[in-house]
């Protein structure tokens, strides 16, 4: 977080929004990933994971993605001939991550509905396993944002 000593001051607010959203998103994903790992079929624990996806990860994603686009336009990165690798990694993880997050939320919602009828555990587990994949992808993205390779 000691990042970018030469960063212009007018990027501070968008960067704060982006990093805060990303931290909320990653925190939510850690909670959902943990819930699927420690649940051992316990529906209560799986339910906590799915609710975290909806009420923590989704808002975190929206704030993170909004902040990223704000920085991208304010820093005029859209005028570069070719995006640097770290921006490419960021875009891939953010946009593919959005798709996976939506799929995960749909599976989780269906799972929660079926739990009332005695089933749905598999759907809940599938929903949360996607969050483990997302968490791994975002760890790579955080590394890329910090180290800025190439």
Partner 1 sequence: MELNDWLLALHLLSAFSLVAAMIVFWVGIVVIRRTDLPEQVVAAGRLFPVAAVAVAVGSLGTIIFGIWLAISLDGVAVWSGWVIAAIILWAIGTETGRRGGTYFGTAIDRATESVASGSTAPDAKLAELARTQHGLLLHSISSLAILLILIDMIWKPGA
If phi > 0 it is left, if psi is from -120 to 50 it is alpha, else beta; for residue 97 that is alpha
Those residues with Cβ within 8 angstroms of residue 72's Cβ, 6 or more apart along the chain or in another chain? 78, 87
Tokens of 125: 């587990």
Q: Which stretch binds partner 1 (CB under 8 A): 43-51, 76-84, 95-103, 107-115?
A: 43-51
49: nearest Cα among 105, 93, 95: 105
Footprint on residues 6-25 left by partner 1 (CB under 8 A)? 12, 15-16, 19-20, 22-24
Residue 122 within binding range of partner 1, rule CB under 8 A: no
97 contacts partner 1 (rule: CB under 8 A) = no
Is residue 45 a contact point for partner 1 (CB under 8 A)? yes
Q: Tell me how far, at minimum, the Cβ of 55 lies from partner 1, in Å.
A: 9
Q: Give the total of residues touching partner 1 (CB under 8 A).
A: 37
């Amino acid at each position: 977080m000691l990042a970018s000593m030469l960063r212009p001051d007018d990027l501070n607010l968008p960067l704060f929004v982006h990093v805060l959203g990303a931290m909320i998103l990653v925190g939510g994903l850690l909670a959902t990933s943990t819930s699927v790992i420690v649940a051992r079929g316990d529906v209560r624990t799986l339910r906590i994971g799915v609710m975290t996806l909806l009420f923590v990860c989704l808002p975190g994603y929206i704030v993170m993605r909004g902040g990223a686009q704000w920085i991208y336009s304010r820093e005029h990165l859209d005028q570069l001939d070719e995006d640097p690798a770290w921006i490419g990694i960021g875009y891939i993880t953010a946009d593919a991550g959005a798709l996976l997050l939506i799929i995960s939320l749909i599976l989780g919602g269906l799972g929660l509905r079926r739990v009332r009828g005695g089933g749905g555990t598999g759907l809940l587990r599938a929903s949360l396993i996607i969050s483990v994949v997302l968490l791994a992808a975002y760890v790579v993205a955080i590394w890329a944002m910090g180290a800025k390779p190439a």
